[in-house]
Amino acid sequence: MSNNDFLLVSQDGNSTRLIASMGDIRLESFKEGNILPEYSTVLGLAPNSSGNLLTVNYFKGDVVASSSKEHAEEYDAVAELIFCPIQFVFIQAQIVMLVEYVTEGILGTFAEQAAAAAARGVAEAVSGRQLYQIQASSLRLIIPESAQDCFYTDLCVGNTTVQYIKLENDSGGEASVAMRGVLVEVCNESLVLHPIKMTADVKIPPQDCESEDARAIKVNIVLSQVAFSLTKPQFSQIMYTLEKNIGQKDTFLRTGEDPEKDTTVVPLGNSHDFGAGAQTRKTQHQRSLVLKRFTHAGVTAVYLPRRIYLSVSMAELSLLMCGPTPDDHVLFLAAVESVVRLEINPDQQKVTAAITLSNLEMEDKRKVSEHRLFRKLVSQRIDGNSINGNNLDVFSLRYIAHENGSMNISMKVGSPYIVFIPDVLMQALETVTIEKKKPVKQKNTNIQEDDEFETG
């Protein structure tokens, strides 16, 4: 940490004003590690950025009106977290190890107890209406193909605002998320044709509602047009990233590290085990080995499960499949007015999912087929079944899964018009075929000097 400021003003115990700022917070891996130097800073202030990485403003009581938030006088407490541009390097094994280190063992005990004490303190200090807001100007996420590879996926998120309103007397809460300017680059080429915008609204009713349906948490997500352009090299890099980063056990924090030696295995059925009788006999037939994991939680939480209703709406979801370059178009797929609904019902021990597409199109975009009569492989047929000029849902899928393992699947298809074009399908399959990577010249991995992205 560097350039930290802290100011706390309390008046008669009823009013509190807290202003804190942190110039830069850096999380770095060992210099003796076996990763590229460009990936050694896991978290920190983005390059070419100035200012404080984090600024915290907290107002309670009579001083709430002095905060910069609109209608601040309607709340008994206002908290605001402001982040400057942040850069985060994601190497799966390192992040998993860090989370385990923080959440388990003695450190995990202290962290959990401190979080529980802080939550109780805030709840007891303020019982009225409260506003919590997180404002981030930009977030840059670097996902290396591997810790030792110069290729990476660059995901940039523009202005993001997260707001949570806790209603008075524990009567629930409301949350909203607004995200704009989401861009993704793979192989130095954009994976999205237009910056993605997203909004989300969450309704959290109080616990003492009259029915399970009234207690349900409702989440509504709306996405703008989501258009992807995928080339053959981009698809290969994505698959290599899944294999060499997401699926990699080695953290590369030490030279010669063997991830297979980090697991301690303990056989079951020893006479000195607790419950060596019935419990051992019960588990002997299920598995002969277990992983020995030490945790010291020390905190008991009462959890009352709620139903969760999730709805995701997209104006259009499309994918343009290309050959070696973005200009070599092959196949275009688009789902218009897509709606995904998910219902999690713990009281009924079932999960329900439903997907509806108002229109599904698949078109041959190759230059050699410009003058062909048939270019659309899939389209919606317009006939007398249309209602008020709008086509019926071309595709509807409903899936219900029960805790006992049983499931129900139902699918409805409208009136699609399908044309079979073998050569374009074969070329599309070639696009998603992974070829063995050949040695290439070292790419410029100085991610510190890349141009700034638009925040849309």
For 34, the token pair is 């076996």
Mean of pLDDT over the chain? 76
Q: Is the pLDDT of residue 115 over 60?
A: yes
Q: Provide, rounded to the nearest whole percent, the portion of the chain with pLDDT above 90.
A: 14
What mean pLDDT is predicted for residues 30-46? 79
pLDDT of 417: 79
Q: What is the pLDDT of residue 267?
A: 41
CA atoms in the 13 A half-sphere facing the CB of 211: 2
pLDDT of the residue at 176: 93
Is residue 126 very low, low, confident or very high in pLDDT (cuts 50, 70, 90)? low
Report pLDDT for 256: 55
Query: Where residue 453 falls among pLDDT bands split at 50, 70, 90?
Result: very low
What's residue 322's pLDDT?
Answer: 92
Structure confidence at residue 25 (pLDDT): 78
Residue 1: the pLDDT is: 54
Structure tokens at 42: 């896991």
Whole-prediction pTM value?
0.69
Q: For tokens 């002095």, what's the residue?
A: 66
Beta carbons of 4 and 24 less than 8 angstroms apart: no
Q: Which of 208-217, 260-269, 309-318 has the lowest mean pLDDT?
A: 260-269
pLDDT at 300: 47
- Residue range 276-301: average pLDDT? 39
pLDDT digits (tens, 9 = 90+) for 370-416: 888 888 888 776 555 554 545 455 778 888 888 787 888 888 877 77
pLDDT at 105 over 70: no
Has residue 219 got a pLDDT over 90?
yes
Half-sphere exposure of residue 79, counting CA atoms within 13 Å on the CB side? 10
At residue 278, the pLDDT reads 40
Mean pLDDT for 104-120 is 67
The residue among 319, 359, 314, 361 whose CA lies nearest residue 340 is 314
In the predicted structure, residue 195 carries a pLDDT above the cut 80: yes
Sign of CA dihedral 155, 161, 165, 166: positive
Residue 79 phi/psi, 5-degree rounding, is: -125, 135
pLDDT given for residue 230 in this prediction:
92
27-31, 210-214, 274-278, 301-305: least confidently modelled range: 274-278
Q: 48 is written with which tokens?
A: 């070419």
pLDDT of residue 405: 78
Confidence band, pLDDT 50/70/90 cuts, at residue 129: confident
Question: Does residue 273 surpass a pLDDT of 60?
Answer: no
